[in-house]
Amino acid sequence: MEKIDKGPLSGIRVIDVGTMVAGPVAATLMADFGAEVIKVEQPGKGDTLRHIGPTLGEGESLWWNVEGRNKKSITLDLRQPEGQRILKELVKSADVLVENFRPGTLERWNLAWKDLEQVNPGLVMLSVSGYGQTGPYAPRAGYDRMGLALGGVLNATGYPDRAPVKVGVAIADYQTAVLAAFGTMVALYNRDVSGGKGQQIDLSLYETVFRFTDVMVTAYEKFGQTRERTGNLHFAAAPGDHFETIDGRHIVLTVSSDRMFRRLCEAIPELVGDERFATHADRIANIEEINRLVGVWIKSLPVPELCRILDDKGLAYSLIYSIEDIVADPQYLARGTIATVENPRVGPLKMPAPQPRFSGTPAPMMRPAPGLGFDTDEVLGELGLSADQIAGLRKAGTV
């Protein structure tokens, strides 16, 4: 595959002053496609993500290496007036600033939207927080699980006879990062194509989660219908479950239409003509029985034969993959879904490749996550600071 040096976002400069996932990963998504992202980190400590395991070597965080890729790193103490002044100098040439501090923090540092838009009226400022910049909850700390809780997803996840169950990854953070990158692109389009100005984007974890709750609020408002925990069952799938296979693994099978059910009946003749399963509504009313029958059939077949039949019938299914399954899977291999980044400190690292894929403007070759402050001298030198001035800032703890 041809190695691309520049991506479609080449020429966009992003200043990332956030920490952890939701805000900074929005910047990573832009960096994956060629935006210049300057990561501003606290001197001596850096992004919190640098200190969360698992780690390699002398504390090299793998999570940081995945989400710090394609960025430059400078250190700058934004609590100091000189650090604030330098950030404003950086903002003058920036297209985007990403932050996810608790609302009110940047105001205390004289780096709020009202301060930065005076420096650069064309700036797009992405502000990510747990609960938004306004409202009674705005001052609260907010993390991934809080977004899932307030957004309505946790209450609907798990089994009814036990406490709600969290998702296995930081899904609220990552959903927010995707919507944040999308929002940034909308704001840049408005500025650069439609003749608009810079603006602040106010995005919260809980509202991002809530946006992806399909018809939950609509059904409640119209019918008083509430979304309860139903384990692996869903009102759109009958049969539908995580079925155990003959070798002790699990397979997801969902049938959401009469047409698909007729195809399943071709494979399981005992389902044909059973009035309990005549329509989707009937199948939902008898979900436990139809899932039991399908489960018996699934467990009776060798997994390769089961998959062959499901493929022949054009049914939607997937084995539930572990990471061992993922790294050995031919689909992942064929599409290059897992990329390898050469890190000079710890060697080659496998990680998710940039998404989505474009036919005409693919992502450039990925660069490794930088060491803390690796690009400080270069970036500050571009602002006109001399080596002696940078050394003085370093001695004062500003960088």
Active site residues: 173
381, 90 Cβ separation under 8 angstroms: no
Residue-wise DSSP of 202-268? EEEHHHHHHHTSTTHHHHHHHH-------TT-BTTBSSEEEEEPTTS-EEEEE--SHHHHHHHHHH-
Report the alpha-carbon distance of residue 14 to residue 93 in Å, rounded. Answer: 9
What is the layout of strands, in order, in the sheet containing 240-244?
A: 240-244, 250-254, 317-319
Reported as half-sphere exposure (CB side, CA atoms, 13 A), residue 297 has a value of 20
Separation between Cα atoms, residue 338 and residue 111, nearest integer Å: 38
Contact (CB, 8 A) for 103 and 138: yes
Q: Give dist(CA 256, CA 233) in Å, integer.
A: 12
- The two tokens of residue 28 are 């990573």
Tokens of 196: 């608009």
